[in-house]
Copies of this chain bind each other. A is one copy, B any other.
């Protein structure tokens, strides 16, 4: 909310000095502009007319500049103009066409001409996600022998992305998984009872369902470890099954929300950090899905680069997937500025990514 300092333009210098006269052309029909019209922004705009720099009245964006019969310039909606009226022409905003859009003091430091733009927020649900590129990057990492760390929150399991995650594990796209007790608990409840927190995979509650995760935990505790539960056939599918049978290392970090916990969970946070760090130092990429706590914890540990490919520091691919921009921005605000944000549902992300990865690896 600090008032930005505004520097009045210096007409003796670039981009003003030496600029030509602006050009104007007539509307071919009512409300229809001549091709090549100048489209306004909301920044101070100077138009060269008769050797002087004029500022059009009533400035606003997404309009045109009409020259009135008396020589006055006005910013106006195209629909309000009639055939034959004269509007300023050109796309250049740097004076080369006789028009200067002056952003100095309005757009922050280090900006240049033609800086007014839409859709510049980096993390937004409204930006397209380039799944082709994400898939290509994953296949590239796999081909190069990269080390991809996946971080997952429990929503991934609730939302039926469990099968897709399993696919990524079994197909060599997952070198390590960092998650919490809850991810394993929901995954194992799903393996044993077909529910997560008592909700079926079509989203229906079940009678007595609120106790099912406690029963799942108890059965694993009775067997002594997740590995034993896989061996004993209690756990026949899912994320933990895939990790154990594919010998992919994982760390389950404990938290104060944990029920149980499952055997193997690090209840001591510092021991969990140490175990996680032994994996993060190997990373050439990280994919953080639907967890604020674990994503930020891992982000804290990850360098913004790695030196595994040839020695020179190369940016460490960091993808953060969350339902809202907030978690991605929070991750960046905690220093993981390199994160590429995908704002979507975990279930759909995993599904679409898998689809593209399959297609790209078959191609």
Question: Which residues of A does B touch, CB under 8 Å?
Answer: 1-4, 6, 8, 15, 28-29, 31-33, 35, 37-39, 41-44, 55, 58-62, 77-79, 91, 93-94, 101, 103, 105-111, 113-121, 124-130, 133-134, 137, 154-155, 158-160, 196-199, 201-205, 207-211, 213-215, 217-219, 221-222, 253-261, 267-270, 272-273, 276-277, 280-281, 292-294, 296-297, 300-305, 307, 312-315, 319, 323-326, 329-330, 332-338, 340, 343-349, 351-352, 355
A278 CB to nearest chain B CB (Å): 10
* Distance between A1 CB and nearest chain B CB, rounded to angstroms: 5
- In the complex, A337→B120 CA distance in Å? 9
Residues of B within 8 A of A315 (CB): 3-4, 6, 105-106
Q: A8-B313, A37-B218, A110-B110 are in contact. List 15 more A-B contacts (CB 8 A).
A: A1-B340, A6-B312, A42-B304, A62-B213, A78-B217, A91-B211, A108-B111, A110-B111, A117-B198, A119-B196, A129-B160, A255-B256, A255-B297, A344-B348, A348-B352
The 9 closest A-B pairs by CB, nearest first: A110-B110, A39-B211, A348-B348, A344-B345, A41-B116, A256-B297, A59-B303, A118-B197, A128-B160
Chain B residues with CB below 8 A from A6, complex form? 305, 312-315
With A43-B304, A312-B8 known as contacts, the answer to whether A280 contacts B125 (CB < 8 A) is: no
Assembled-state Cα–Cα distance A334/B185 (Å)? 14
**A168 CB → nearest B CB, Å:** 17
Contacts of A35 in B (CB 8 A): 215, 218-219
